[in-house]
Structure 1
Amino acid sequence: MIHLSQISKSMQRHPFHLVDPSPWPFVASLSALSCAIGGVMYMHAYINGSLVFLSGFVMLLTTMFVWWRDVIRESMFEGHHTGIVQRGLRYGVILFIVSEVFFFAFFWAFFHSSLAPTVEIGLTWPPKGIHVLNPWEIPFLNTLILLLSGCTVTWCHHAIVANFRNQAILSLFLTILLAIIFTSLQVYEYRMADFRLSDGIYGSTFYMATGFHGFHVLIGTISLFICLLRLLRYQLTQEHHFGFESAAWYWHFVDVVWLFLFVSIYWWGGA
């Protein structure tokens, strides 16, 4: 017996994708709510607060997996991602990256304290007792690594468009390797630093800005790794590789933010 939705799709006369009803938005909302409630309970030392948070987090990760699986299925096997649909998805990713401009709040906090140091921190910047990191050691090396990763991810994009499969796999693997090296050096830098998050305004602004950027690097690395798995399974083609495009745009955004971090916080802020 033919389902009514199948009949309607076969008679569809427009290039847009009318999404089927899905439980995942509702489940994702409940998972996020559980994470928030569990996090607050844990911070206030409520019993089983950590359990509520972990349950919501695991449920959220599971929802992300099955939801993205459905999106890949709609794109690869059901043919719903037409040119117009892909254009709309690109607009969505652009708006998401633009919304990340709120990252400027961390720079604002840093400049607010550094341009007009108060009496509480000794009218000087960096505050007395803070031994800042040398910007021309690990930070500069990480800058070169991220810029190189931006080149390799662009190489991968051109290789996919030109249908050079081996080059695409190699360049994407190099991008992920460089991302892992960057994160490892960032962790090593944190371990070697003489100050911590609790060491006044310098420590809090430094670790919030660089740590939040590191979180973005981690998310971008996971996205690129998933793209590598899809590339190996022949799921990224010349015409349909929006998943990689979105990850590549996100990675370039991470590169640009790091340049601002290096110049303002590592170099100028520690001078």
Structure 2
Amino acid sequence: MGSQHAKTAPYYFVPGPSKWPVLAGASLLLTMAGASAWVNGYGWGPVANILGILATIVVLFKWFGEAFAESESGLYGDRIDLSFRWSMSWFIFSEVMFFAGFFGALFYARSVTMPWLADIDHKVIWPDFTAQWGNTPGGTIDPFTKMGPFPIPTINTALLLASGVTLTISHHALRLGQRGKTAFWLAATILLGAVFMGFQVYEYMHAYSELNLKLTSGIYGSTFFMLTGFHGFHVTLGAIMLAVVLYRLMKGHFTPENHFGFEGAAWYWHFVDVVWLGLYVVVYWL
């Protein structure tokens, strides 16, 4: 939405009937059905999953393209801007609750289950088991080595902290109307996110091949990969969002006064940064 549209936009724009919500639901259903069939050994599962993902990408591309066109044509006023802000806020809140569930599972496993398995009632079954995080009752799973904070997790922390700084610089440049500087620092943010993901892929390869740490390595392995894996997925999603913002910026979208598309993606990226700080302390250090 541009500033020149603020005074001419309708009181509250209500779009007409759209086919995209139905198509999005159908493509997501195909994606999840394919994934479910895939993990259960059905031959049609991989094909259905890939087709569903591709269909979802196409639907989102078309759907968001319509929203961008509506914005740039002056149909979005201050009230639509406010509704977008509330919507993004609630979406991020839902993501906070999502990660809170996984952090809660980690806390329960460490602070409740581990001491319980080591109490006197279980000494008969596992006499050598001690309530130390990462330990497992003897013979239940293959031995593994826990993941420490050095060097990759610490490097990734520095990368995400740096990306928060570059994104803030980019935002301030946009507010000052410095589009070239905005694009440069936004591209730097995306690059830092990509490097982060590269290091995480290397970390997973190291965990599987050298530490024997896998998703099946007891509660430690499952919580480690679920928390860090879902965070990595969110970093990827955030980088895609910022890449779309960069593309729109290069197409001439956004003004210093009206650029919530940029701000919404920036909110999400900063949220991802904060979650990582929690992961870095709780998963790698404690």
Gaps of 5+ in 2: 1-7, 119-125, 137-142
What value does the CA root-mean-square deviation take over the aligned residues? Answer: 1.7
Q: Which residue of 2 aligns with 1:105?
A: 101
Shift of the alpha carbon at 1:93?
Answer: 0.2
Pairwise CA distance, 1:122: 4.5
The residue correspondences of 1:196-235 to structure 2 (distance < 5 A) are: 196-235=214-253
1: CA distance, partners of 2:130 / 2:41:
36
Q: What is the CA–CA distance in structure 2 between the aligned matches of 1:42 and 1:137, rounded to whole Å?
A: 35
Q: Quickly say closer, same or farther: Cα 1:247–1:13, change in 2 above 3 A.
A: closer
1:13 and 1:231, CA in 2 relative to 1: closer, same or farther beyond 3 A?
Answer: closer
Higher relative contact order (CA 8 A, sep 6+): 2
Q: Is the 8 A contact 1:15 1:82 kept in 2?
A: yes
2:3 aligned residue:
none
Say if 1:189 and 1:46 are closer, same or farther in 2 by CA, change over 3 A.
closer
TM (normalized to structure 1)?
Answer: 0.89
Question: 1:56 Cα deviation (Å)?
Answer: 1.8
Among 215, 218, 240, the alignment partner of 2:258 is 240
Separation (CA, whole Å) in 2 of partners of 1:93 and 1:152: 22
Q: Give, in angstroms, the shift of residue 243 of structure 1.
A: 1.2
Q: Which amino acid letter does the alignment assign opposite residue 126 of structure 1? A: G
1:56 aligns with 2:52: yes
The answer to whether the Cα contact below 8 Å between 2:9 and 2:76 also exists between their aligned partners in 1 is no
**Could you tell me which of 78, 83, 95 is aligned with 1:83?**
78
* 1:28 maps to 2:12: no
Query: Is there any run of 5+ residues in structure 1 with no aligned partner, and where?
Result: 1-11
AA paired with 2:285?
A: W
Which residue, 192, 207, 215 being the options, matches 1:178? Answer: 192
- Please give the alpha-carbon distance, in whole angstroms, between the structure 1 residues aligned to 2:144 and 2:35: 31
Q: Is the 8 A contact 1:114 1:126 kept in 2?
A: no
Matching residue within 123, 129, 149 for 2:131: 123
Contact 2:9 2:75 in 1 (8 A): no
Q: Distance in 1 between matches of 2:247 and 2:172?
A: 18
TM-fit CA distance, 1:59: 1.1
Q: CA 1:14 to 1:236, structure 2 compared with 1: closer, same or farther past 3 Å?
A: closer
**Secondary structure, counterpart of 2:242 in structure 1:** helix
**Aligned residue for 2:182?**
168
**Which whole-Å CA distance do the structure 2 matches of 1:54 and 1:14 have between them?**
41
Q: Deviation string for 1:170-194 (max 9, x for gaps)?
A: 1101101111111111111111121
Write the letter of the residue equivalent to 1:255. Answer: D
What is the number of residues matched between the two proteins?
Answer: 256
Any idea what the Cα deviations from partners look like across 1:188-233, whole Å, max 9, x if unmatched? 1111121111111101100000000000000001111111111111
How has the CA–CA distance of structure 1 residues 13 and 182 changed in structure 2, closer, same or farther, with 3 Å as cutoff? closer
TM superposition score normalised by structure 2: 0.85
Distance (whole Å) between structure 2 residues aligned to residue 40 and residue 87 of structure 1: 38
